[in-house]
Amino acid sequence: MSWIEKLYRTYESNIGAVEARGNEEASLLPICHTTQNAHIEVTIDDQGNFRRAATISKDDAMTIIPCTEQSANPSGIKPVHQPLANKLQFIAGDFTAYGGEVTVGYSDAPAQPFMNCMADLKAWCESKHAHWKAQAVFHYLEKKSLIADLVKEGVLHLDQDGKRLGKLLYEWESEADKPEIFSLLSGKLDGKGKRSQWQSEAFVRWRVEKSDVLDSSTQTDRELQQAWIAYYSSLKQIEGICYVSGRKLTLADSHPAKIRNSGDKAKLISSNDSSGFTYRGRFTEADQVCGVGFEASQKAYNALRWLIDRQGWRSGSQAIVSWAVSGAEVPRVMDDTTKLFGGREEVEQIVDTAQQFGVQLTKRIAGFSAKLGKTDEVVIMGLDSATPGRMAMTYYQELTGSDFLSRIDSWHRNCCWVQNYGKDKRFIGAPSPGDIAKAAYGNDVDDKLKRSTILRLLPCIVDGVQLPKDLLEACFHNAARRHAFDAWEWEKILGITCALYKNDNKETEDYAMALDRQRSSRSYLYGRLLAVGDAIEGFSLGLSGEKRPTNAARLMQRFADYPCSTWKTIELKLMPHKNRLGGRIKKYEGELKEIMELFDPDDFKDEPLSGEFLLGFHCQRTVLMKAENNDEGEENEPNQ
């Protein structure tokens, strides 16, 4: 239960600071509370008299509301009501009188949702933990006039001339003058597949005004929140050994969902299947498997939800988050180098050489070190789910602060290469795991394959293990298929593949991003040859205005498998282009001569090249492109 204990301590370490700031986009919720998108806000006074009502914009819809363990995860045909803020069927005594349709589980007793809600609200309001705002809401709901009041305010709308005269209108037929409530609700599909905007699905939150109270909101009232926590905690009956604290405490009956997002129904701990195989066969009762204290469970899951919202990475059902238990800022393992430097897309203007990159990376890691102690606990967690109701922890690692920063530094330093993602993003550094997955399997990579690839890359970043060979081969294969991709996409794949190859050989080689004119390895030299051939033909085609791929580009994949014979084909096709360039060909011939002199005669054979040829190709190509740009600049200078 180490992960719950770490999350529990994270909550305790951060709740005070979060409450003091009070304006965070991702809120660390108090226990016994959840979030819900509200559509309508009703304002009453402290005596329970209606004042006004209005719809809520989508930007302000997220609402913190009291909840029980059961209502925090409403599901099925008979969903459980929330204690205070609710859907109309639970709080409107005149709901059915205006044609409201309850969920199917209550169809035999349409008044039951309202009666259940009022009974529980009354019990709270009559307890020693009562709060005057909750009591005002109860007194107002006793009047059974909510729907009528909302209709008078123009928030809800009745059918005026259809089959449901005087009842809640099913949908607004046209877009013209469409009331706000119909834009906020997605509605339901009827039997014919038509989507209706159901006003009865609206969720209501409250404001309670009092002459001597400045804050009328119920969602931000700390005293109201504490009153509900005290009342609900007093109802807990089951006691046992909490595996988190080691003490005998009130145990959780049910563990929260909504971990990755507000619509998430999957749970990490669940034991509600008494007739299946969740725990049967080894245990007779669910609490024999493990016991988690009610408070520990609530705080741990609230912390995890907060961490994912605040600093986690999400893609579909997959979520990955790294955090320090102390609350100190830590790098996110799923970021590329631009985001490590603070999310600045203009990083290429700051670090445009390997030396500058090293200096900037050292400074950035030192910035994290100043906030994160050497022995501070850092946790990396990966979550995913195969079904809507069950979630698994797919990756978990605990490190000290110094070890974690050292491994992040090592990944970004060893996987450092020139990355070209297009005109809007060029930088020196390491690619993100998501971009690596796309480089290996294409931009349209299957979601399941992408998630599994990212999961395989996590140990490479966090634990420093070797990159999977099949992943390297997939990237190498795509980088050699230059003709199969758009120019920008291939440039991105090339940079990522070079970075991965450099990282994979970090123990035996120290590859520089600049051209190494002394390196005589076979693959590196062939890569340089291909770059020169590509540059000669590309420059020639540019002068003649032709727009077609070079032979080096078209034959790159074959060149990787049969370099000697393919180079002979490319070289023969270069003759007319050399003639066209005239005197300008000298610098290219000088490069070709230099490369050929470094070859061992035994290297002229048709054996497949390693990924190193891409490094030679990339470095040589960069040098030639800079030279061509300089030549063009000189030609365009005015005569002095």
Of 240, 234, 231, the C-alpha closest to 292 is: 240
The rounded distance, in Å, linking the Cα atoms of 114 and 176 is 35
Domain count of the fold of the chain: 4
The rounded distance, in Å, linking the Cα atoms of 293 and 247 is 9
Which residues make Cβ contacts (< 8 Å) with residue 142, sequence separation at least 6?
A: 48, 93, 118
For the stretch 454-472, pLDDT in tens is 999 999 999 999 999 999 9
- Mean pLDDT, to the nearest integer, of 227-242? 88
Q: Which pLDDT score, from 0 to 100, does residue 273 have?
A: 58
CA distances from 574 to 1, 370, 482, 537 (A): 67, 57, 19, 7
Domain end marker among 469, 504, 539: 504
On the question of pLDDT at 522 being above 70, the answer is yes
The rounded distance, in Å, linking the Cα atoms of 577 and 268 is 65
51-82 b/e (C-beta count within 10 Å ≥ 16 → b): eebebbeeeebebbbbbbbebbbbeeeebbbb
Q: Decide the pairing of beta strands 40-45 and 203-209.
A: parallel
Question: Do 155 and 58 have their domain in common?
Answer: yes
Q: Decide the pairing of beta strands 188-189 and 248-250.
A: unpaired
Which residue stretches of 22-111 are H helix?
88-91
Q: Is the CB of residue 111 less than 8 Å from the CB of residue 96? A: yes
Helix, strand, coil fractions of the chain, as percent rounded to 5 = 45, 15, 40
The rounded distance, in Å, linking the Cα atoms of 509 and 524 is 13
Q: Which pLDDT score, from 0 to 100, does residue 172 have?
A: 80
CA distances from 131 to 65, 121, 126, 228 (A): 14, 11, 9, 8
Residue 97 covered by a domain:
yes
For the stretch 248-273, pLDDT in tens is 888 877 787 888 887 788 888 876 65
Of 42, 61, 47, 57, the C-alpha closest to 149 is: 42
The rounded distance, in Å, linking the Cα atoms of 431 and 248 is 48
pTM of the shown model: 0.84
Q: Is the CB of residue 439 less than 8 Å from the CB of residue 455? A: no
The rounded distance, in Å, linking the Cα atoms of 291 and 373 is 32
The rounded distance, in Å, linking the Cα atoms of 584 and 587 is 7
Helix (H, G, I), strand (E, B) or coil at 277: coil
To 10 degrees, the CA torsion angle through 102, 105, 110, 116? Answer: -100
Sign of CA dihedral 422, 427, 432, 437: positive
Residue 221 covered by a domain:
no
Q: Which pLDDT score, from 0 to 100, does residue 91 have?
A: 96
Radius of gyration of the chain (CA): 32
On the question of pLDDT at 163 being above 80, the answer is no
Average pLDDT of the chain, as a whole number: 88
CA distances from 309 to 18, 104, 141, 498 (A): 14, 34, 35, 33
Question: Do 284 and 374 have their domain in common?
Answer: no
Question: Do 16 and 38 have their domain in common?
Answer: no
Question: Do 548 and 594 have their domain in common?
Answer: yes
469-502 b/e (C-beta count within 10 Å ≥ 16 → b): eebbebbbebbbebeebeeebbbbbbbbbbbbbb
Question: Do 469 and 607 have their domain in common?
Answer: no
Q: Which pLDDT score, from 0 to 100, does residue 306 have?
A: 93
Q: Is the CB of residue 513 less than 8 Å from the CB of residue 501? A: no
On the question of pLDDT at 280 being above 70, the answer is no
Q: Which pLDDT score, from 0 to 100, does residue 185 have?
A: 83
Residue 217 covered by a domain:
no
pLDDT band at 350 (very low <50, low <70, confident <90, very high): very low
From the CB of residue 554, how many other CB atoms can be counted at a distance below 10 Å? 14
For the stretch 316-341, pLDDT in tens is 899 999 999 999 999 999 999 988 87
For the stretch 381-414, pLDDT in tens is 999 998 888 899 999 999 999 999 999 999 999 9
Question: Do 119 and 194 have their domain in common?
Answer: yes
Question: Do 622 and 584 have their domain in common?
Answer: yes
Question: Do 336 and 455 have their domain in common?
Answer: yes
Q: Which pLDDT score, from 0 to 100, does residue 640 have?
A: 32
Question: Do 77 and 65 have their domain in common?
Answer: yes
339-375 b/e (C-beta count within 10 Å ≥ 16 → b): bbbeeeeebbeebeebeebeebbeebbeebbeebeee
Lowest mean pLDDT among 40-49, 63-72, 490-499: 63-72
On the question of pLDDT at 602 being above 80, the answer is yes
Residue 230 covered by a domain:
no
Question: Do 384 and 414 have their domain in common?
Answer: yes
Residue 103 covered by a domain:
yes
Residue 282 covered by a domain:
yes
Residue 464 covered by a domain:
yes
Q: Which pLDDT score, from 0 to 100, does residue 348 have?
A: 42
The rounded distance, in Å, linking the Cα atoms of 205 and 209 is 14
Question: Do 268 and 204 have their domain in common?
Answer: no
Question: Do 459 and 472 have their domain in common?
Answer: yes
For the stretch 458-516, pLDDT in tens is 999 999 999 999 999 999 999 999 999 999 999 999 999 999 999 999 999 889 888 99
Of 628, 536, 630, the C-alpha closest to 589 is: 536
- Mean pLDDT, to the nearest integer, of 328-356? 71
Q: Which pLDDT score, from 0 to 100, does residue 342 have?
A: 66
Q: Which pLDDT score, from 0 to 100, does residue 272 have?
A: 62
pLDDT band at 344 (very low <50, low <70, confident <90, very high): very low
Residue 615 covered by a domain:
yes
Q: Which pLDDT score, from 0 to 100, does residue 636 have?
A: 43
On the question of pLDDT at 639 being above 70, the answer is no
CA distances from 548 to 70, 176, 528, 539, 554 (A): 64, 52, 22, 12, 10
For 378, left (φ over 0), alpha (ψ -120 to 50), or beta? beta
The rounded distance, in Å, linking the Cα atoms of 595 and 212 is 86
Q: What is the 3-state secondary structure (H, E, C) of 98-118?
A: HCCCCCHHHCCCCCHHHHHHH
Q: Which pLDDT score, from 0 to 100, does residue 459 have?
A: 95
Residue pointed to by tokens 């051939």: 533
Its domain, for residue 367, covers 327-504
CA distances from 554 to 523, 537, 588 (A): 19, 12, 20
| Most confident option among 135-144, 350-359, 412-421 | 135-144
